[in-house]
């Protein structure tokens, strides 16, 4: 094979160019700290990096969802706690007014304090969050949860319990709202977060939180009909069996009895205690959901650490290895340049001088 001077020059130039490109590539890797800076560096690796990054971003979004969910649950927890405090005060008054120590005038005076507590509890039942959404209206956050009961003036009823003719919206969804805080085990959505741990309920319907007997509203107040003087603001006798079973209405019955000088009654005492117990159970449920958010967050962070280590293995450049490789390539470039210089002196023209 005939080796021409042109071939020698081209081969030398190719070797020098290759070593220069290698040095530039390693220099870029050392500068960025990454061995994969563009898809051409590692087509398979860059695909894995994108998938890992996407999964990690999803985990971060779940963490943000958890922060939002927890803030809503803390707000609900505070509202229910304030209601429990008010009911405990009302129950203390009910116990006091049930004894012979207090006369009719004193009971009438106590009714004014009960009325103030009623207004306080009513404002909580229709409370809004920072976004202007009703906290206890389920999915219908723009609708007032507790409205005046057209069948019992002076009392409240949950809007989801009303017929269409009375302003109800049975076609609307009054269920709780959920936030996704983790990966789904399956793609099938469940209506209850107890069966789908990837979602957490951030709202509870008012009938669940402030009601006493969901299956038969007002059942605990049936004895109220035996008391004389229980009339509405319009002077119309109330039907106790039809009264919506919520904490405000229990306080309302107690208020009206005190206003006529009567004792609160055992049924009111039992209803108040049941209401406190029911709301305490709701508080426990909220606490459990907050703990689940923390658990999901910890699990997500642990998973994210594993993904980060995996991505680092694929993407990041080892500095010690990179510096060693840079030194080797630099020596190779110098050697190629020296060889080219020697080869140039092997031309026939050099011998003809």
Is 230 domain-assigned?
A: yes
Q: What is the CATH number of the domain that holds 269?
A: 1.20.1330.10
- Does the pLDDT at position 313 exceed 70? yes
List, for residues 22-73, the tens digit of each pLDDT value: 667 666 666 666 766 666 666 777 888 889 989 999 999 999 999 999 999 9
341 pLDDT band, cuts 50/70/90, is low
Residue 229 has a pLDDT of: 38
Closest among 337, 316, 329 to 35, alpha carbons compared: 316
Candidate from 12-16, 66-70, 272-276, 300-304 with smallest mean pLDDT: 12-16
Q: Is a pLDDT exceeding 80 seen at residue 192?
A: no
In a domain, 337, yes or no: no
Residue 234 has pLDDT above 80, yes or no: no
Q: Specify the range with the lowest mean pLDDT, choosing from 77-81, 166-170, 240-244.
A: 166-170
Percent of the chain's residues with pLDDT above 70? 61
Calpha distance 303→308 (Å, rounded):
9
Asked whether the beta carbons of 125 and 204 are under 8 A apart, the reply is no
Model pLDDT, residue 159 = 82
| Secondary structure, 3-state, the chain | CCCCHHHHHHHHHHHHHHHHHHHHHHHHHHHHCECCCCHHHCHHHHHHHHHHHHHHHHHHHHHHHHHHHHHHHHHHHHHHHHHHHHHHHHHHHHHHHCCCCCCHHHHHHHHHHHHHHHHHHHHHHCCECCCCCECCCCCCCCCCCEEECCCCCCCEEEHHHCCHHHCCCCCCCCCCCEEECCCCCCCCCCCCCCCCCCEEECCCCHHHHHECCCCCCCHHHHHHHHCCCCECCCCCECCHHHCCCEHHHHHHHHHHHHHCCCCCCHHHHHHHHHHHHHHHHHHHHHHHHHHHHHHHHHHHHHHHHHHHHHHHHHHECCHHHHHHHHHHHHHHHHHHHHHHHHHHCCCHHHHHC
In a domain, 336, yes or no: no
Number of domains in the chain: 1
What is the extent of the structural domain holding 125? 50-307
Q: What is the dihedral of CA 93, 99, 105, 111, to 10 degrees?
A: 20
Residue 14, domain member (yes or no): no
Range from 151-160, 184-193, 283-292, 332-341 carrying the lowest mean pLDDT: 184-193
Instruction: Look at residue 190 and tell me if it is in a domain.
Output: yes
* Residue 163 resides in a domain: yes
Residue 2 falls inside a structural domain: no
Note whether residue 30 is domain-resident. Answer: no
CB burial of 143-162 (b: ≥16 within 10 Å; e: otherwise) equals bebbbebebbebbbbbbbbb
């Amino acid at each position: 094979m005939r080796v021409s001077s042109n071939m020698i020059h081209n081969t030398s130039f190719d070797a020098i160019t290759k070593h220069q490109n290698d040095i530039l590539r390693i220099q870029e890797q050392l500068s960025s700290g990454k061995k994969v800076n563009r898809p051409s560096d590692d087509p398979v690796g860059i695909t894995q990096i994108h998938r890992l990054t996407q999964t990690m971003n999803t985990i971060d979004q779940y963490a943000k969802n958890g922060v939002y969910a927890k803030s809503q649950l803390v707000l609900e927890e505070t509202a229910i706690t304030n209601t429990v405090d008010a009911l405990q005060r009302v129950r203390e008054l009910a116990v006091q007014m049930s004894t012979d120590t207090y006369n009719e005038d004193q009971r009438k005076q106590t009714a004014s304090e009960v009325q103030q507590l009623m207004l306080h509890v009513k404002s909580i039942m229709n409370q809004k969050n920072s976004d202007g959404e009703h906290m206890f209206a389920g999915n219908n956050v723009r609708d007032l949860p507790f409205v005046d009961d057209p069948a019992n003036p002076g009392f409240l009823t949950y809007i989801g319990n009303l017929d269409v003719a009375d302003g109800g919206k049975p076609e609307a969804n009054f269920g709780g709202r959920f936030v996704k805080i983790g990966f789904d085990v399956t793609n099938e959505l469940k209506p209850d977060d107890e069966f789908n741990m990837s979602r957490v309920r951030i709202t509870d319907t008012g009938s669940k939180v402030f009601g006493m007997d969901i299956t038969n509203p007002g059942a605990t107040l049936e004895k109220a009909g035996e008391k004389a003087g229980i009339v509405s603001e319009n002077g119309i006798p109330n039907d106790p069996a039809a009264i919506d079973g919520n904490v405000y209405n229990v306080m309302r019955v107690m208020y009206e009895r005190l206003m006529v000088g009567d004792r609160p009654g055992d049924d009111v005492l039992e209803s108040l205690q049941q209401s406190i117990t029911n709301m305490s159970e709701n508080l426990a449920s909220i606490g459990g959901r907050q703990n689940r958010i923390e658990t999901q967050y910890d699990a997500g962070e642990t998973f994210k650490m594993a993904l980060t280590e995996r991505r680092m293995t694929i993407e990041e450049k080892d500095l010690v290895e990179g510096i060693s490789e840079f030194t080797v390539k630099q020596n190779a470039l110098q050697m190629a340049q020296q060889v080219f210089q020697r080869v140039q002196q092997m031309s026939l023209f050099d011998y003809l001088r």
